[in-house]
Amino acid sequence: MKPEINIALMNAAQEILSRFSPMIEDEYEQSRLNSWGALILISAMKFNQSYSSLVEENKSMISWLTKTKKNYSKELSAEIDNVVVKENVEQNILDEYNQSLRRILIKAHIEIDLLDDVKNKRACLQLLRKMHSHRKVSDLIGMLQQADS
C-alpha cells in the first residue's frame, strides 16, 4: 500500500468534517456530508486491515464448515472437503476465495436452517453477523485498493 493514499484519505476526511460540513446550513445535508467524512476516515484507518480481515474471515468459515460438516448433505460435505486453505495470496485472489467460501457457507446455512439444530443455527448466524461487520466499509476499501494496484 502506498502511504500517500492513507494520508490523502485522512486529509479528505478532515477537510470534509472541519471545513466543508460547517458551511452547509441544511442539517440533513450536513449530516450526510459528515457521514461521508466519517466513512472516509474509517476507510483510511482500516485500509491495511482488510487483507488480514479476509484471511481471518476465511479461516473462521473453514473452521466452522469443517466442524459442522457431518450435518450437511453429501454434495455439500464433498464441496467442503475440496476447500483448500489459502494464505499469502494476492488480495484479488483472496477475495475470490472468500466469495467462494461465502457461497458454501450460504448453502450450509440453508441446510442448517432446515434442521432442528438451534445451536448450529445460532453459531452460523453469529459467524454471518461477524463477517457482515467486517464488510461495512469494504466497498470503499475495495475501490481504493484497486486504485492502489
Q: Are residues 55 and 93 in the same domain?
A: yes
pLDDT at 1: 43
Q: Are residues 58 and 89 in the same domain?
A: yes
Confidence tier at 136 by pLDDT (50, 70, 90):
low
What is residue 136's DSSP assignment? T
Give the span between the Cα atoms of 58 and 55, in whole angstroms.
5
Q: Are residues 43 and 56 in the same domain?
A: no
Q: Are residues 68 and 88 in the same domain?
A: yes
Q: Is 81 part of a structural domain of the chain?
A: yes
pLDDT at 27: 93
Q: Are residues 38 and 62 in the same domain?
A: no
Q: Are residues 73 and 26 in the same domain?
A: no
Indicate if the pLDDT at residue 120 is higher than 60: yes
Give the span between the Cα atoms of 88 and 116, in whole angstroms.
38
Q: Are residues 22 and 80 in the same domain?
A: no
Q: Is 98 part of a structural domain of the chain?
A: yes
